[in-house]
Amino acid sequence: MTTLHESGPARRPQFVEATRASIVAVGALFAVGGWAGLFTLIVRSYPTVGNRWLFFALLHIALTGTALPLVQALNSRLVRPGAPPIPAMALVRQATWVGLFGAACAWLQIPRLLSWPMAGVLLLAFIVIETLLRLSESARYWQDLETRRGRE
């Protein structure tokens, strides 16, 4: 019996295609729900404290859902031959960074603290964190691959 991590070469392309299709579907669901919720919130409510928090949550969901298919397309297009496969959770995490960046920028704009240097520093911090996480995942992948080859 094969598991998801030990799928053979025959099952791998089907698994990758199913993952890509599900990522696009989840992204579309998040984007439509988030943007529709934001539209409804902006048009039909007053900016009370609870509605402000709801605005940031819906903005995060909308931006994450919008970025999810774009992140998936960029990662599949820019991956090197022979590089470890990009896990679906890494794609979700990268789209979440986009949503978090947008929500943080909107939040910093309220007290007029957002500036181009501040947005650049925030973006650079997210990029550094994601790069370190991807390096860790890549090292773990190659270590697991070496361990499997040693057992054979």
Q: Where are the domains of the chain?
A: 12-151
CB 75 within 8 A of CB 102: no
pTM, to two decimals: 0.81
For the segment 115-141, what is each residue's pLDDT rounded down to a tens digit?
999 999 999 999 999 999 988 888 877
For the segment 48-95, what is each residue's pLDDT rounded down to a tens digit?
999 999 999 999 999 999 999 999 989 888 888 777 778 888 899 999
Residue 79, number of CB atoms within 10 A of its CB: 12
